[in-house]
């Protein structure tokens, strides 16, 4: 059972898709991520790409983020996100798009800018590094933006991202890696 950890929606239970179509971030990992960025959430414009059930974007909103754009390629997942947004009362702060991540970035480049981005694709896609690159090259990251990436076996080499400073890089068990980057505009 997933729930909002803290903030204005603390304790709200979140719905998830049945089956194996999505893999929600575990409570333990979510707590670790938000402990690392807890003082850098308020008034941020958030992008929750590969949103799943929307728990990362909703946790950020509960902690004072200004707004959140939820993107997921699954209409069923987006229906769950919308139900969770309604349950937490953040309707006026949210936008939604059913789209492939790369398509969304291509179309939104130069028009959308975010201060906090959660990238949590299905591990088999191994596309986190590519998505990070596309967000930066598309001008979608504000100077000082925080990018949180969750991946499986995909190796994300910090040397491939000179405009990013690694603030946290940690392996959780054998299956999950978390990288938190701070973006500096070149």
What are the structural domains, with CATH classification, of the chain? 43-183 (3.40.50.150)
What mean pLDDT, rounded, does the chain reach?
93
| Nearest by Cα to 51 from 29, 31, 74 | 74
Q: How many CA atoms lie within 13 A of 64 on its CB side?
A: 8
- pLDDT for the residue 186: 84
Higher pLDDT pick, 158 / 34: 34
Question: Sign of the CA dihedral 156, 46, 94, 62?
Answer: positive
The answer to whether the pTM exceeds 0.85 is yes
What percentage of the chain carries pLDDT values higher than 90? 78
Residue 19 banded pLDDT, cuts 50, 70, 90:
low
Q: For residue range 147-163, list pLDDT tens digits in order.
A: 999 988 888 888 888 99
Residue 21 banded pLDDT, cuts 50, 70, 90:
low
- pLDDT for the residue 142: 97
d(CA 65, CA 49) in angstroms, rounded, equals 16
Q: For residue range 39-81, list pLDDT tens digits in order.
A: 999 999 999 999 999 999 999 999 999 999 999 999 999 999 9
- pLDDT for the residue 11: 96
Contacts of 46 (CB under 8 A, 6+ apart): 57, 60, 61, 65, 66, 67, 68, 69, 114, 115, 116, 117, 118
d(CA 1, CA 15) in angstroms, rounded, equals 8
């Amino acid at each position: 059972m997933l729930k909002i950890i803290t903030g204005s929606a603390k304790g709200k239970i979140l719905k998830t898709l049945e089956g194996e179509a999505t893999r929600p971030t575990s409570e333990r990992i979510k707590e670790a991520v938000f402990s690392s960025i807890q003082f850098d959430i308020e008034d941020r414009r958030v992008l929750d790409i590969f949103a799943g059930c929307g728990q990362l974007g909703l946790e950020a909103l509960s902690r004072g983020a200004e707004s959140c754009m939820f993107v997921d390629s699954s209409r069923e997942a987006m229906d769950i996100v919308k139900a969770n947004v309604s349950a937490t009362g953040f309707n006026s702060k949210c936008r939604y798009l059913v789209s492939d991540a790369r398509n969304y970035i291509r179309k939104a480049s130069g028009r959308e800018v975010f201060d906090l981005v959660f990238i949590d694709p299905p591990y088999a896609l191994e596309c986190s590094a590519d998505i990070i690159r596309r967000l930066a090259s598309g001008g979608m990251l504000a100077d000082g933006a925080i990018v949180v990436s969750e991946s499986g076996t995909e190796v994300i080499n910090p040397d491939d991202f000179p405009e990013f400073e690694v603030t946290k890089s940690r392996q959780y068990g054998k299956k999950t890696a978390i990288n938190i980057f701070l973006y500096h505009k070149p």
